[in-house]
Amino acid sequence: MITHQRIHSGQRPYTCGVCNKSFSQQNHLTTHQRMHSGERPYTCDVCNKAISQQSHLTTHRRVHSGERPYTCAVCNKAFIRHSYLITHQRIHSGERPYTCEVCNKALSDKNSLIKCNGRLGVEDFCKSVLKFECELKVVLF
């Protein structure tokens, strides 16, 4: 009950000694600390890949089993992760919740935004997502 009450109170008594991020539950801190230590206590029994979280192992096993429990209601395409389904559904809805601060292009997923914001030059990225050269000129000029 106390753990649940922390959700409403915002209390986060467990703090990471490395980065000062705080958590409402001790087990969330323990899981977080593996990011810093590199500890990966879970192992895939098929390919021996070491993984830091039990839930990530469950998702990883779907690569081997072929299980795809998340299905698009529009086109029936199936995915191993719920987040992949959410991103996919934006194809149908047209939602583009991310905007590049460099070229002002609206994007459907965070990975495209990261690429657009500087990993690629503006011109290189925009060429990869725009259909016509004339659109690139509008963005750049």
Domain with CATH 3.30.160 in the chain: 66-95
pLDDT tens digits, the chain, 141 residues: what are they?
Answer: 666 766 777 788 899 999 999 988 899 999 999 989 999 999 999 999 999 999 999 999 999 999 999 999 999 999 999 999 999 999 999 999 988 877 788 888 888 877 776 554 555 555 555 544 444 444 443
pLDDT at 33: 93
pLDDT at 141: 37
Name the 3-class secondary structure at 141. coil
Tokens 């292009």 locate to 105
pLDDT at 109: 85
Q: Which residues of 67-78 are buried (b: 16+ CB within 10 A; e: fewer)?
A: eeeeeeeeeeee
pLDDT at 125: 52
pLDDT at 103: 77
Alpha-helical (H) ranges within the chain are 2-9, 26-37, 54-65, 82-93, 110-114, 122-129, 133-140
pLDDT at 82: 94
Give the architecture-level CATH label for domain 66-95.
2-Layer Sandwich (3.30)
